[in-house]
Amino acid sequence: MSLRIRSLGFTLVESMVALLVLSIGMLGIAALYVETLQASRTALVRTQAVTLASDLGDRIRANRTPANAYACGDPCDPTNGGNAQAVDDLTAWLDSIANQLPGGVGQVTFTAGTPTTPSAYVITVSWTEVGQASAVAYALRVEI
């Protein structure tokens, strides 16, 4: 009979250890889920930045006169545009960046071509990323 009494307490200890192991596993799963959410948000923001830069690149290719119509400077001032269409495009583009990216800023620089190289725009989109000390940027070079 004394053997039976000692084994009853041992079952309680086993249950407590199993509960501890299960709790640690659940905390690991929760941490993995949070990390996945953060990576997903980062990927979404980066995809939006690429899409916004490509959108302006398409607009530049559609409106080529004058050649430097979209050179808005740093920071980008839409009124520096070379024609009314460029001003409208830059204004809409900067609004989209501000609305879709956290701390989003756009910049467009123009380099005139030479006999051996074509003229080119460099479209830069910068934003603040969660957990990063400095801004993250994406640059797209569009040759015209």
> Quick one: 125 exposed, middle or buried, by C-beta within 10 A (0-12, 13-18, 19+)?
buried
Domain that holds residue 82: 2-143
Measure the CA–CA gap between 59 and 52, rounded to whole angstroms: 11
Q: The whole model's pTM is what?
A: 0.81
Residue pLDDT tens, the chain, 144 long: 555 555 555 688 888 999 999 999 999 999 999 999 999 999 999 999 999 999 999 999 999 888 899 999 888 899 887 899 999 999 999 999 999 999 999 999 999 999 999 999 999 999 999 878 899 999 999 998
Of 102, 77, 103, the C-alpha closest to 91 is: 77
Q: Is 83 helix (H, G, I), strand (E, B) or coil?
A: coil
Structural domains in the chain (count): 1
Query: Residue 97: what pLDDT?
Result: 97
Q: What is the pLDDT of residue 88?
A: 94
